[in-house]
């Protein structure tokens, strides 16, 4: 029988889940990266203690007290979906029941299969809604980089002077991700990045531009700081007028090379409905690790 333990403080969660997250940092990258970011914000004095959306972390333990799963609900965008890491099936179903009992409705659930699907199905059953898949995602990891063909220009770190353009491109990236996957732009991705968030990425040196031979910014790639030795790449965005020149492949390759050079493991997510991005990453040597899903629960 699995036991569910909730935490309000990311530091307490990390202390309990440390060994579990460390065993598979690539598979656990979303929860590890975001939770470490919030824990760092507490230390830096910029953490928002009061937010207008549900925020918690979860550890799942077995009868022997061993951590066998984890989750978090920290998404600032609606419907504030929890993100589930791999966990026993019964724990995923029990999570839906616990949240229902404490009056915390869920209209969306993201994460590893089959847990995210099982949790969404049970939540829908309890609320009378209908579960449906919004996005099929796939997690990739790079072990050995396959260099792309050379292209004009070079990668450079973003500076505070780039922040406004970076924010604009971040929002365009989300719209383009939907469009390239055959969805209506803005239908599956919420624009939640802020200028403050962009400036923090720049301060941490986790955002880059590819500039062409004339110095024009033609592409943007970001990456999260390493968490337990894994660093997740994204966003990856080339404006329409600059596509088709290999800038994305060149930028992702160079960012990935730098991650590898610091003894970290590059990883990234793709939308399975976007053949362009999947082909780019496969050509660079990225290999699929696991399929995940973003579920929605439509009300009756």
CATH number of the domain encompassing residue 208: 3.40.630.30
Query: Do residues 8 and 101 both lie within one domain?
Result: yes
Residue range(s) defining the domain that contains residue 173: 154-284
Average pLDDT of the segment spanning 273-294: 93
Query: Do residues 44 and 88 both lie within one domain?
Result: yes
Q: Is residue 289 part of a domain?
A: no
CA distance 261 to 242: 29
Q: Is residue 297 part of a domain?
A: no
Q: Is residue 16 part of a domain?
A: yes
Q: Is residue 293 part of a domain?
A: no
Query: Do residues 170 and 76 both lie within one domain?
Result: no
pTM, rounded to two decimals: 0.91
Query: Do residues 56 and 119 both lie within one domain?
Result: yes
Residues 6+ apart with CB under 8 A from 219: 209, 210, 237, 238, 239, 242, 247, 248, 250, 251
Most confident of 57-61, 175-179, 189-193, 296-300: 57-61
> What ranges in 45-162 are assigned the alpha helix state H?
89-101, 115-127
> pLDDT tens digits, residue range 18-63?
999 999 999 999 999 999 999 999 998 988 888 988 999 999 999 9
How high is the pLDDT of residue 191? 55
Q: Is residue 190 part of a domain?
A: yes
Query: Do residues 7 and 56 both lie within one domain?
Result: yes
Number of domain units in the chain:
2
Query: Do residues 68 and 171 both lie within one domain?
Result: no
Q: Is residue 146 part of a domain?
A: no
Identify which of 79, 4, 75 has the alpha carbon closest to the alpha carbon of residue 34. Answer: 75
Q: Is residue 147 part of a domain?
A: no
Q: Is residue 280 part of a domain?
A: yes
Query: Do residues 161 and 127 both lie within one domain?
Result: no
Query: Do residues 257 and 186 both lie within one domain?
Result: yes
Half-sphere exposure of 54 (CA within 13 A, CB side): 21
- Least confident range from 37-51, 138-152, 230-244: namely 37-51
By the 8 A CB rule, do 117 and 89 touch? Answer: no
Asked if the model's pLDDT at residue 184 lies above 70, the reply is no
Query: Do residues 159 and 247 both lie within one domain?
Result: yes
């Amino acid at each position: 029988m699995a036991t569910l333990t909730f935490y309000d403080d990311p530091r307490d969660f990390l202390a309990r889940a440390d060994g579990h997250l460390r065993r598979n940092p690539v598979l656990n990258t979303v929860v590890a990266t975001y939770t470490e970011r919030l824990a760092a914000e507490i230390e830096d004095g910029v953490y928002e203690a009061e937010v207008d959306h549900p925020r918690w972390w979860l550890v799942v333990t077995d009868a022997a007290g061993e951590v066998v799963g984890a989750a978090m609900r920290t998404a600032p965008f609606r419907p504030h979906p929890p993100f589930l890491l791999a966990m026993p099936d019964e724990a995923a179903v029990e999570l839906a029941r616990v949240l229902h009992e404490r009056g915390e409705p869920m209209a969306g659930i993201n994460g590893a299969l089959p847990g995210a699907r099982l949790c969404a199905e049970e939540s829908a059953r309890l609320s009378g809604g209908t579960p449906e898949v919004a996005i099929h995602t796939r997690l990739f990891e790079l072990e050995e980089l396959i260099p792309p063909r050379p292209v004009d220009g070079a990668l450079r770190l973003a500076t505070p002077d780039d922040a406004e353009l970076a924010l604009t491109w971040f929002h365009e990236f989300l719209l383009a991700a939907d469009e390239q996957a055959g969805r209506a732009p803005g239908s599956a991705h919420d624009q939640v990045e802020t200028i403050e968030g962009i400036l923090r990425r720049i301060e941490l040196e986790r955002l880059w531009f590819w500039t062409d031979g004339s110095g024009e910014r033609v592409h943007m790639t970001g990456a999260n700081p390493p968490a337990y030795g894994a660093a997740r790449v994204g966003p990856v965005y080339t404006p329409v007028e600059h596509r088709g020149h290999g800038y994305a492949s060149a930028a992702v390759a160079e960012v990935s090379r730098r991650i590898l050079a610091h003894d970290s493991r590059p990883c990234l997510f793709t939308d399975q409905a976007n053949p362009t991005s999947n082909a780019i990453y496969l050509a660079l040597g990225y290999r699929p690790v696991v399929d995940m899903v973003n579920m929605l629960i439509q009300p009756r």
